């Protein structure tokens, strides 16, 4: 498939530092991430999400099967730089991702390392900072920013490398609700306006609900894959993987379970859910 930016083929992985190869962490993951899509990955702690993410830009290499980034086999060492240019990674803790004392220098760091010419760097840094809404902070000290602002600077640093895909591993986990919203809006905007492919690993159902596609991991396998609206209707199955569902789905599900009411489970947004409840109350 040519339009897959990332493809994993029967991907298997065990961390080598555990005894006798250790228990398998990824047990045959087959995924095709379509270029331009916004994919969320959910899964209980230890289900293998971060391990999978690290295979998407060759931080980890498969023990079995294969991973292709824009057709390049991640085991091909000669392609490493190309792979890292194609897929950028953003991690949980923004403090660990800041390397300079001035915001714009921080954002320039990665493209400088890639040998991008200086005028081009200037242009990319400005554009990246504008894209995350941090341009006016370009001469500020990163460590004085809020968590959400720092994470947006970290995202700008990745954007400045002009990747076609960004993989974010719980980028909002350490942020307050305002920071979470800022970061999520930024990610969505990047996907929509610049067509950057986004893979978002998250524990937040409301974040996952905003993606085009939701992949659920359990014990190193993909156990559900589809539009969030469809996947979230599989309430009992998701609970069996140690997950919850969005509050809207949970409420509707309980109305069905406990009160036997004939309400749809796919009213995912607050507005849709409110409409269902309104219709229910005004129907009597």
Return residues touching ligand ATP (CB under 6 A): 15, 17-18, 25, 43, 45-51
Instruction: Tell me, rounded to whole angstroms, the distance of Cα 131 from its chain centroid.
Output: 18
Structure tokens of 193?
């306006």
Shorter beta-carbon distance to Mg ion: residue 169 or 182? 169
CA distances from 158 to 47, 89, 108 (A): 26, 7, 10
User: In the bound complex, what is the minimum distance in angstroms from residue 234's beta carbon to Mg ion?
Assistant: 22
Count of H helices and E strands in the chain? Answer: 11, 10
From start to end of 74-171, where are the E strands?
87-90, 165-169
**Which positions lie near Mg ion, rule CB under 5 A?**
49-50
What is d(CA 79, CA 72) in angstroms, rounded to the nearest whole number?
7
Of these partners, Mg ion, ligand ATP, none, which one is at the site of residue 48 (CB under 5 to 8 Å by kind)? Answer: ligand ATP
- Going along the chain, which residue ranges are E strands? 4-13, 26-34, 38-43, 64-69, 72-73, 87-90, 165-169, 197-201, 213-218, 221-226
For residue 115, the SS3 value is coil
Q: Which is nearer to ligand ATP, 18 or 194 (CB)?
A: 18
Q: Which of 53, 187 has the CB closer to Mg ion?
A: 53
Residue 269 CB coordination number (10 Å):
14
Is the Cβ of residue 48 or residue 94 nearer to ligand ATP in the bound state?
48
Nearer to Mg ion, 56 or 129 (CB): 56
Q: Give the C-alpha separation, 199 to 189, whole Å.
A: 14
Binding partner of residue 18 among ligand ATP, Mg ion, none, CB cut-off 5 to 8 Å per kind: ligand ATP
Q: How far is the CB of 172 from Mg ion (least distance, A)?
A: 13
- Pure H helices in 141-260: 147-159, 177-194, 205-208, 228-231, 235-240, 247-259
Least distance (Å) from ligand ATP to the CB of residue 238? 15
**What is the closest distance, in whole angstroms, from the C-beta atom of residue 246 to ligand ATP in the complex?**
18
Instruction: Answer with the entry of Mg ion, ligand ATP, none that 15 interacts with (C-beta below 5 to 8 A by kind).
Output: ligand ATP
Report in angstroms how near the CB of residue 277 gets to ligand ATP at its nearest: 33
Smallest gap from Cβ 156 to ligand ATP, in A, equals 24
Rounded to a whole number of angstroms, the minimum distance from the CB of residue 217 to ligand ATP is 6
Closest-CB residue for Mg ion? Answer: 50
Nearer to ligand ATP, 25 or 198 (CB): 25
Choose the contact partner of 97 out of Mg ion, ligand ATP, none; CB within 5 to 8 A by kind: none
Q: Select 47 or 233, whichever has its Cβ closest to ligand ATP.
A: 47
Q: How far apart are CA 169 and CA 56, in angstroms?
A: 11
């Amino acid at each position: 498939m040519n339009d897959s930016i990332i493809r994993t083929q029967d991907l298997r992985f065990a961390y080598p530092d555990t005894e006798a190869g250790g228990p398998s962490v990824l047990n045959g993951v087959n995924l095709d991430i379509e270029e331009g899509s916004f994919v969320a990955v959910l899964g209980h702690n230890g289900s293998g999400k971060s391990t999978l993410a690290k295979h998407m830009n060759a931080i980890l290499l498969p023990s079995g099967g294969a991973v292709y980034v824009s057709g390049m086999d991640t085991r091909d060492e000669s392609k490493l730089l190309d792979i890292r240019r194609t897929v950028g990674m953003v991690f949980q803790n923004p403090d660990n991702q800041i390397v300079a004392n001035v915001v714009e220098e921080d954002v320039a760091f990665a493209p400088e390392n890639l040998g991008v010419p200086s005028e081009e760097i200037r242009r990319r840094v400005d554009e990246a900072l504008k894209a995350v809404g941090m341009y006016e902070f370009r001469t500020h000290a990163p460590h004085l920013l809020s968590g959400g602002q720092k994470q947006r600077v970290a995202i700008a640093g990745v954007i400045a490398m002009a990747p076609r895909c960004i993989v974010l591993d719980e980028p909002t986990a350490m942020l307050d609700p305002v920071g979470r919203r800022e970061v999520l809006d930024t990610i969505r905007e990047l996907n929509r306006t610049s067509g950057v492919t986004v893979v978002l690993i998250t524990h937040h159902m409301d974040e996952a609900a905003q993606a085009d596609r939701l992949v659920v991991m359990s014990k190193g396998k993909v156990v559900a894959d589809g539009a969030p609206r469809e996947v979230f209707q599989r309430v009992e199955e998701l609970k069996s993987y140690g997950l919850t569902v969005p509050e809207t789905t949970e409420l509707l599900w309980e109305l069905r379970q406990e009160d036997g009411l004939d309400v749809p489970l796919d009213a995912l947004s607050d507005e849709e859910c409110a409409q269902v409840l309104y219709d229910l109350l005004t129907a009597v």
